[in-house]
Homo-oligomer: A and B are copies of this chain.
Amino acid sequence: MSTRQRILDTALESFGTTGVDGTSLDALARELGLRKQSILYYFNSKNALFQAVVDEAANEFIDELDAVISDVDPRDVWAQVEGAVRVVFRLALQRPALLGLLREASRPGSMVAVQLSTRLAVHIDAAQHALENALQEGRVLGGNARLLLFSLYSTIMGVATEVEVLRAMGIEPSLRTLAERRQELLRFLRVALVPV
């Protein structure tokens, strides 16, 4: 794998778990068996690296979503929601750093330096239109599609990343726990989203 790609991967892992401020270029380079100057050779600044990592994470996130959702009837909003929930929960288990990074990127301070990936913005637009269609046909509750979309996003995100909160309260989340949580969330969404 190219050095550049190794840097991106390791940085995603570290930024997503330890946070951007909590990760020094020095420590990152040590983990890679390099000097930090080599990192700065590929990315002009730490901020540029962060931007690149966010872009990569957003792309990976969307790829996972697309892979699942593309198998589904685009008119079946509920099936799409269910697919999205499944993806997010799987990522929470298998790629926790990825979700951590997306959360890190949407923190108040970080947004100043880093714009959300273009692809993510486009994807949100598309999802918004899909929801608007569903709304017009009366298959979903709610008025403002974009706001409803954000509601879905933050609900999924919040529930999926609460693993950390559970750990902090002394509850070690198990596979079974997460499965239960997903069931509860799906029941939540199902009752709120099914045809009126």
Q: A residues touching B (Cβ–Cβ < 8 Å)?
A: 17-19, 21-22, 100, 106-109, 111, 116, 121, 124, 141-144, 146-148, 150-151, 153-155, 157-159, 161-162, 164-169, 171, 177, 180-181, 184-185, 187-188, 191-192
Q: How far is the CA of A22 from the CA of B109 in the complex (A)?
A: 8
State which of B107, B162, B166 has its C-beta within 8 Å of the C-beta of A19.
B107
In the assembled complex, the CB of A161 is this many whole angstroms from the nearest CB of chain B, namely: 8
Pairwise interchain contact B108-A147, C-beta atoms closer than 8 A:
no
Q: How far is the CA of A108 from the CA of B124 in the complex (A)?
A: 27
Q: How far is the CA of A151 from the CA of B107 in the complex (A)?
A: 21
Pairwise interchain contact B181-A192, C-beta atoms closer than 8 A:
no
Q: Which residues of B contact A169 (CB under 8 A)?
A: 116, 121, 124
State which of B108, B153, B162 has its C-beta within 8 Å of the C-beta of A154.
B162
The answer to whether A171 and B159 touch (CB under 8 A), given A111-B164, A192-B187, is no
